[in-house]
Each structure stands twice: as structure tokens, then as C-alpha cells.
Amino acid sequence: MQLQKKDGHIIKITLREVVALVCEYYAIKEPDLHMRSQKRLFSKIRLMIARLAIRFHVANLTDIATYFNRDISTFSRGLSRMLMSDDVELDAISCYIESAIVQA
């Protein structure tokens, strides 16, 4: 899924922009996501970022794992679990990011 404005213009975004918008949504600071902490909240947010970045064709899993200095297999397993669940929160944040980017 690529982001498009109403005039059909495709919007290119970066991983950093996705991270910034997700951090804004959750009212956290990006350095919290880079810490070695395995806090459930931060782990979930990193997975949300990964899912959104892949969905919007921003980055692949290897790039995302490298960005957060995490093991790719951890992201892969987490995304598999996330995709199997019906995550309403993922839909909400996806809509938030889409509208924020399209309006920019």
C-alpha cells in the first residue's frame, strides 16, 4: 500500500518519519525505542513501526532491525504474531499516520 494524495500523487516517506509519527502518537521519545530495554510497550511500538514501514513500502525488515539495533528474527516472530491477531490499535495508528502524511 502506497500513500497517495487525493490528486493521485504518490507520497514518499522515510523510516524516520514513520518513527517520529508513531512516537508522537504514543507520546514517547525515539531514544526510548533504541534502548536495550525489553519493556513490553517499547517492543510493541517497535513492531508497530515495522509493520507500518513494511505496509507503506518504506523499509524492509532488515533495515528496520538494523535501525533499532535488534535481531531480525525477533522482528519476524513478533510481526507474525501481530499479523495473526486482529489488532484494532494497529488500524487506528495506521489511519493516524496516513492522515498526518497526506495532509502534510
Q: What tens digit of pLDDT does each residue of 7-62 get?
A: 666 677 899 999 999 999 999 999 999 998 778 889 989 998 998 898 888 999 99
Are the CB atoms for 47 and 75 separated by under 8 Å?
A: yes
The neighbouring-strand residues paired with 10 are 4
- The structural domain count of the chain equals 1
Residue ranges making up the domain that contains 26: 3-103
Q: What CATH number does residue 19 fall under?
A: 1.10.1750.10
Residue 4: the pLDDT is 55
Residue 61: the pLDDT is 93
pLDDT at residue 89 is higher than 70: yes
